Amino acid sequence: MSANLIGLLIEATLQTLYMVSVSAVLGTVFGLPLGVFLATSQRGELLSAPLVNKALGLVVNAARSVPFIILVVAIIPFTRALVGTSIGTDAAIVPLTIAATPFIARLVENAIREVDAGLIEAARAMGATPLQIIRKVLLREALPGIALGLTLAVVSLIGYSAMVGAVGGEGLGDLGIRYGYQRFMPDVMLAVVVILIVLVQIVQSAGEWIAARVDRRAPRNRGH
């Protein structure tokens, strides 16, 4: 493989990392509060707002039902209005964020629903406000689950980011299609796949390590 191609691989990897990390951060910024709200706003819950809960739930489900590749194409006018272009990494971040947000919201919702209802009751009995309960009890107790959920979301984003390559999004997927497939260079294709596998492995291991670090639900060997 020529130095030129290696340069391309490095560039594509950095583009993928850029797209994935920015859309993961934005997806979390939007998805985390949305997930918290979904988990706490059914009838009789902390932020009881059953109608808003149902409406948002429908929107989230609808967004998650649209196949990603169709989402990318369907929102091109919106993407263009937002970043001025519909091709390139910045443009790819828009559909990636839109796909990640409801996904992350559901993962966060599930993690928060796992928290023992007794803890909410204890906090209410202490005179905590709903926001205090969310901040000090729910988010902290759900942190291991949220960390694993975000890991899953980032891994999915790596896969999605390869798909936006097909519509001019750049990154590893784009490289794999243009060089590996269209120019019939199987070594490039293989290199792209290997890099993706390594990326996913690193993300998965790091996520699990973080989740284990913050999880105090089981006794830990203290090495006395």
Q: Which residues bind other proteins (CB under 8 A)?
A: 116, 118-119, 121-129, 132, 136-137, 140-141, 143, 214, 216-220, 222
> Minimum CB separation from other proteins for residue 144, in Å?
8
Rounded to the nearest whole angstrom, what is the least distance from the CB of residue 224 to other proteins in the complex? 12
Name which of 48 and 201 has its Cβ closer to other proteins. 48
Shortest gap between Cβ of 210 and other proteins (angstroms)?
14
- Residue 137 vs 172, nearer CB to other proteins: 137
Closer to other proteins by Cβ: residue 60 or 133: 133
Query: Which residues, 6+ apart, have CB-to-CB distance to 188 below 8 Å?
Result: 1, 5, 9, 175, 176, 179, 180
Minimum CB–partner distance for residue 222 and other proteins (Å): 8
Cβ distance to other proteins smaller for residue 43 or 183: 43
Q: How far is the CB of 206 from other proteins (least distance, A)?
A: 20
Q: Which is nearer to other proteins, 140 or 178 (CB)?
A: 140
Contact call for residues 146 and 108 (beta carbons, < 8 A): yes
Closest CA to 112 of 185, 46, 17: 46
Closest CB to other proteins among 51 and 218? 218
User: Considering beta carbons, is residue 95 or 144 the nearer one to other proteins?
Assistant: 144
- Least distance to other proteins from the beta carbon of 114, Å? 11
We find the least distance from the C-beta atom of residue 125 to other proteins, in angstroms, to be 4
Sign (positive or negative) of CA dihedral 121, 128, 26, 78? positive
Torsion sign over Cα 19, 150, 100, 132: negative
